[in-house]
């Protein structure tokens, strides 16, 4: 089991390349993870927002470490590919708390994590990243530590200096132990190109309608493309559409494109 964990960590690390960007359709429960894996995913990434919603909570560091780790462990046990977990700010009050969460996430079998700065001072995320790296080293796992900066997603700081501010944060996060840098909220090709050339680690962006496709993003220097909460939002939108047609018109047409029951049911393993 330990050898398999180490092997998955090395495999996941090797998937980050702009020549063939790692595309991640983020999952939020076992069912979504199995559907995504069956579609051909080389790895599974979780979305903290989707997980929180599925557990009846809003996004934004409201999950407890126990709830998050339990769900991560269930996903890891259900899929064969490497799993990377979005743990928001680290689910800890301080760096020591983050280290404890990361140790538990690694025990659950994940081989990568995302930790974000949000509105925290960059120095605080640097401390959290260093604690996460130390926890991974103690566990003997080549954890892929993805540092997310929300300068563009939240519109932080002065727009005139946002690019340089982002690059400065990225440099500090890499120095603190990050293996990759995630900059959601950017779809402009020129900005992405500057980010990729100015960050000395694999660049991760979040994509959706209006963004360049995965191949084009690779050409700009992107090594990892995530859909974030988008797949979960799409699933819940389909649920709302089906419910509204049922209650408004008494119809069932939205069910016509559903995955056939035997095919979906066949993705799951019966208990021994």
DSSP characters for 65-91?
A: HHHHHHHHHHHHHH-SS-EEEE-TT-S
User: Which residue ranges make up each domain of the chain?
Assistant: 2-229
Among candidate residues 18, 4, 197, 173, the one with its CA nearest the CA of residue 82: 4
pLDDT tens-digit profile, the chain (272 residues)? 467 898 999 999 999 999 999 999 999 999 999 999 999 999 999 999 999 999 999 999 999 999 999 999 999 999 999 999 999 999 999 999 999 999 999 999 999 999 999 999 999 999 999 999 999 999 999 999 999 999 999 999 999 999 999 999 999 999 999 999 999 999 999 999 999 999 999 999 999 999 999 999 999 999 999 999 999 999 999 999 999 999 999 999 999 999 999 999 999 988 87
Please tell me the CATH code under which domain 2-229 is placed. 3.20.20.60
pLDDT at position 146 is 98
Query: Cα–Cα distance between 210 and 161 in angstroms, integer?
Result: 24
Do residues 177 and 145 make contact, with C-beta atoms less than 8 angstroms apart? Answer: yes
Query: Cα–Cα distance between 203 and 112 in angstroms, integer?
Result: 15
Among candidate residues 57, 22, 59, the one with its CA nearest the CA of residue 41: 22
Q: Scanning the structure block, which residue is given the tokens 């995913």?
A: 41
Query: Cα–Cα distance between 254 and 240 in angstroms, integer?
Result: 10
């Amino acid at each position: 089991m330990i050898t398999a964990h180490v092997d998955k960590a090395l495999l996941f690390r090797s998937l980050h390349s702009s020549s063939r960007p790692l595309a991640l359709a983020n999952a939020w429960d076992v069912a979504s993870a199995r559907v995504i894996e069956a579609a051909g995913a080389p790895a599974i990434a979780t979305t903290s927002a989707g997980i929180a919603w599925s557990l009846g909570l809003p996004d934004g560091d409201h999950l407890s470490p126990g709830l998050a780790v339990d769900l991560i462990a269930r996903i890891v046990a259900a899929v064969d590919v490497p799993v990377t977990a979005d743990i928001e700010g680290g689910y800890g009050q301080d760096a020591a708390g983050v280290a404890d969460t990361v140790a538990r996430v690694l025990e659950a079998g994940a081989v990568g994590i995302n930790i974000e700065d949000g509105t925290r001072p960059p120095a605080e995320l640097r401390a959290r990243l260093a604690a996460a790296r130390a926890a991974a080293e103690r566990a003997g796992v080549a954890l892929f530590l993805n540092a997310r900066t929300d300068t563009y997603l939240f519109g932080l700081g002065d727009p005139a200096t946002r690019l340089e501010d982002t690059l400065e944060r990225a440099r500090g996060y890499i120095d603190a132990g990050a293996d990759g840098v995630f900059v959601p909220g950017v779809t402009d090709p020129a900005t992405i190109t500057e980010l990729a050339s100015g960050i000395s680690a694999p660049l991760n962006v979040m994509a959706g309608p209006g963004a360049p496709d995965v191949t084009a993003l690779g050409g700009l220097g992107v090594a990892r493309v995530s859909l974030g909460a988008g797949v979960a939002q799409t699933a819940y939108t389909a649920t709302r559409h089906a419910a509204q047609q049922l209650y408004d018109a008494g119809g069932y047409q939205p069910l016509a494109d559903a995955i056939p029951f035997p095919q979906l049911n066949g993705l799951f393993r019966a208990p021994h």
